[in-house]
Amino acid sequence: MEWQTDVGTAYDLWMSLHVLHHPSEFGLRRPWAAGVRARLPEPERQVLAEVTTAMPFPFPWVATLGGEKSAKRALEALAALPAEKRLPALFILPEMPAEAAEIWQRVAERGKWSEQELKRLRPIYARLSAKQGRKFPIEKRLRLFANSAEIGEKYLRALKTYHRVFFAEEEERILPALENAANTAARLLEGLGPERALEKLTQGLNLPAALVMKRLILAPSYWSTPLIVFHRLSPDTGLLVFGARPQGDSLVPGEEIPTAVTRGLRALDNPTRLRILRYLAERPTSPSQLARRLRLRLPTVLHHLHVLRLAGLVSLNLNEGERLYSARGEQLGKVWEVLQAFLQGEPRQGGKK
């Protein structure tokens, strides 16, 4: 496998917006996320919410940017596109089924969509939903693509405002961590090989789809930690956006308590999650097997597993479509180490207290 690291705050520009609009999925305090969004004027806040909650990550487009991958460079590249071409460039992804990509492009060019196009998209995204375990807001996307010129102009204006009022300062904070993570990724890949290196970089995720790529681009993201995003850029090239926030850091700027501590303690402060960890320490187990053993509904078990995954306490194997979770006992020790360092007032990994 050939590989390269791709350091750029542009990935976190969009990742941070996703986290701020889905704070509960990332264990982030909702009032703080709402406070950041409230810094934006109402029109910009509204269009960012509409696009962020309806569209996929535009990471494949970011990966195609030449040279520096800063947020400022990405916004300049987006501004260079005609307004009506911005949504298609960002959100028609290379791994999309060809029929779906054709429909999205046609809707953007025509400025309207039909019931027939909606009917054609529904089975495509029903299959994707079953495979990925999440729903796709098809009609909402259609409305946005049907107004590509107007939304493209408003969206760029909103992104520039968001960058000015929040993210410009944030990217200065996170850039050293991204650079350190890229260097760490290079050392791990050279020393351990792709399979073991990727398991460490993704904090316990076994992702066969990435390992079969002839070429893999590794992009660190501060805001996604510990979750990952994988895109197939071509049949033989993949893009893996992986978590890069140090354990001693907090996602919230200026927050004294490291996120690893708050997420770890929250994950352990629940009898059901403790039982899940005990069962997973015995052997790898699927969510449905856990649901039967715990006599709980599957969505409830999936919620608990997500909390444990955010805390880095479980590993996930996605081999051949089956989801098998295992306990990561070593992470319990790391959470304890970070907690002790915090209580003793030791400097964070970034060098600041």
Residues of the chain with CATH 1.10.10.10: 259-343
Long-range interactions of 135-140: CB distance < 8 A, separation 24+: 137/53, 137/54, 140/50, 140/53, 140/54
Per-residue pLDDT of the chain (353 residues; tens, 9 = 90+): 899 999 999 999 999 999 999 998 888 889 999 999 999 999 999 999 999 999 999 999 999 998 889 999 999 999 999 999 999 999 999 999 999 999 999 999 999 999 999 999 999 998 888 776 678 899 999 999 999 999 999 999 999 999 999 999 999 999 999 999 999 999 999 989 888 888 888 888 888 888 889 999 999 999 998 888 999 999 999 999 999 998 888 888 887 777 788 888 888 899 999 999 999 999 989 999 999 999 999 999 999 999 998 888 888 887 666 788 989 877 777 778 888 887 887 655 444 43
At 307, is the secondary structure helix, strand, or coil? helix
CB distance 213 to 237 below 8 Å? yes
Closest CA to 73 of 81, 57, 62, 84: 62
Q: What is the pLDDT of residue 350?
A: 44
- Residue 87's contacts (CB-CB under 8 Å, 6 or more residues apart) are 51, 55, 108, 144, 145, 148, 151, 152, 155
CB distance 105 to 92 below 8 Å? yes
- Could you tell me whether strands 314-317 and 205-206 are parallel, antiparallel, or unpaired per DSSP bridges? parallel
Q: Which two tokens stand for residue 183?
A: 């260097």
Q: Would the CA dihedral through 298, 131, 53, 140 be positive or negative?
A: negative
Q: What is the pLDDT of residue 323?
A: 84
Q: What is the pLDDT of residue 36?
A: 96
Q: What is the pLDDT of residue 75?
A: 97
Q: Which two tokens stand for residue 241?
A: 């956006």
Q: What is the pTM of this model?
A: 0.87
Burial 107-143 (b: 16+ CB within 10 A, else e): bbeeeebeeebeeebeebbeebeeeeeeebebeebbb
**Tens-digit pLDDT profile for residues 214-240:** 999 999 999 998 888 999 999 999 999
Q: What is the pLDDT of residue 352?
A: 40
**Tens-digit pLDDT profile for residues 108-138:** 999 999 999 999 999 999 888 877 667 889 9
- Residue 242's contacts (CB-CB under 8 Å, 6 or more residues apart) are 181, 185, 201, 202, 218, 219, 220, 221, 224, 228
The helix or strand, by DSSP H or E, that contains position 67, with its residue range, turns out to be: none
Q: What is the pLDDT of residue 201?
A: 87
Measured between alpha carbons, how far is 258 from 263 in angstroms, rounded to an integer? 9
Q: What is the pLDDT of residue 320?
A: 60
**Tens-digit pLDDT profile for residues 22-34:** 998 888 889 999 9
CA R_g for the chain: 21
Phi and psi (nearest 5°) for 281? Answer: -70, -25
- 259-343 folds as Arc Repressor Mutant, subunit A (1.10.10)
Q: What is the pLDDT of residue 77?
A: 96
For tokens 């495509």, the residue is 124
